[in-house]
Amino acid sequence: MYNYFRLKVPNEIVGIMMSEQKNNVNQSSEYQNKDVNDKILLNIRDLEQKIHFLYEGKKSQRRVLILLRYTNGITQRELTEMLKIKPASMSEVLSKLTAKGYVSRVPSSIDKRTMVISLTEEGKEIADQAFEYRSLRIVELLSGLDDEEKDVLLSLLEKVNAPWDDL
């Protein structure tokens, strides 16, 4: 039984959810007739959907909690910039996390107009659970690759991603 965000998810259910996500796009005849660039893009899209399904869910809330786990307090503006979320969306996420008792907002000692966001004790526990769950899903996602294949994949992804870093 895995307890994630106060939700008890039996391991069997997680397994069923995972197997439902294994409907690989590359098994269709339509896929087989595509050129290599289209196949790559389809696989990237398929993988993105699986990653989202596996450990993101209400991704903004979890991402904020995980990021706050590494800070001793951060401003809303810094969070917004780091996570590339619209300010209005960040306000909504923080309101929900504050209402749940996971984060606190206190005025900055430097500028009283600026709020410093930090985890509450309960928020730290939830952030740790979210991080653990995310880590397990990443290991599971990459379990079909050996270390050498992971290194090759990483190198190729970095090469493809590099020209887009400035966006």
Give yes or no for residue 164 having a pLDDT over 80: yes
Domain edges within the chain: 2-139
Architecture of the domain made up of 2-139: Orthogonal Bundle (1.10)
Structure tokens that stand for 167 in this block: 């966006």
pLDDT of residue 59: 62
117 touches 68 (CB < 8 A): yes
Residue with tokens 């996570």: 83
pLDDT of residue 55: 54
Could you report the per-residue pLDDT of 38-56, keeping only the tens digit for each? 999 898 888 887 776 665 5
C-alpha pair distances (Å), 61 with each of 14, 96, 119, 135, 159: 21, 8, 12, 16, 30
Could you report the per-residue pLDDT of 118-155, keeping only the tens digit for each? 999 999 999 999 888 888 888 888 899 999 999 999 99
